[in-house]
Copies of this chain bind each other. A is one copy, B any other.
Amino acid sequence: MSKTWTAALLIIGDEILSGRTQDKNVAQIGKWLNLQGIRLSEVRIVPDVLERIVEAVNALRAGNNYLFTTGGIGPTHDDITVDAVAAALDVPVVEHPEARAMLEGYYAKIGKELTPSRLRMARVPKGADLIPNPVSGAPGIVVENIYMMAGIPHITAGMIEGLSGTLEGGRPLVSVTVGAFAPESEVFELLIAIEKAHEGTQLGSYPFFKEGKVGANFVVRAEDEGLAAAAAKALASGLSELGYEPTPGGL
């Protein structure tokens, strides 16, 4: 079996924990990582408290190939992600000349002043490089294996789009879905048998209730497309034998 590449995601922000803002970055980044051949192995959401961010950064960067953070890189007083990552790495915070130039260009273009608080967005942990931000002026930041990105989902999207294909990963995880109006509790043994018979696959079942009936979508995931297809085929046969009509692609 090939090496598995993993990433963790650290979401920084009181507004997510309080329920004020609905997170969209877990799903967005999880899907994007699948395409990079990297598995999202853990997510943590912590408040805008320096020690809590430092602790999570250190726990997550050690156990994974990559750590992504979202949130806390804006201009305001509760934007402390750069300080926290610098503290975690035990390096000073410095102004990045290229980031400053980007901000100068951006604010000149939109006819606004580059105030001291906006200039905070040029601060990086020493040794860092920048992640371009095609949406708004302030760049993301990469240092060691830590990628610091904006928290606002469409700005995050611009940053990950730019990173596509630049990260070393394994083979993308392929998924094949088979749906059926079969209560998942009735096909339990079948799922175990299929997973056992196809080493390297993971099988998930996602129950639903529609058209007045219960059923589930069964998702086979594997790095090998042929393996995923074979397991899905075996699953479809097994469902038929139990009297449930399988629907390739899911219901």
Binding site for B on A (CB under 8 A): 11, 14-24, 26-34, 39-47, 52, 74-78, 112, 115-118, 152, 173, 175, 183-186, 188-189, 191-192, 195, 202-207, 219, 221
Contact = CB atoms under 8 A, between A and B. Distances in A.
Given A22-B24, A26-B19, A14 B204 contact: yes
B185 A117 contact: yes
A23 B23 contact: yes
Nearest to A192: B77
Given A34-B18, A152-B207, A191-B77, A117 B186 contact: yes
A43 B17 contact: yes
B41 A17 contact: yes
B19 A27 contact: yes
Contact of A115 (B34, B39, B186, B207): B186
A44 B47 contact: no
A120 to B, nearest CB: 8
A26 B45 CA distance: 9
A76 B20 contact: no
Contact of A76 (B15, B18, B52, B184): B184
Given A23-B23, A27-B22, A45-B42, A15 B188 contact: no
B23 A205 contact: no
14 contacts: A14-B221, A16-B26, A16-B27, A17-B30, A18-B175, A19-B26, A19-B30, A19-B32, A20-B27, A43-B43, A43-B45, A74-B207, A75-B184, A77-B192
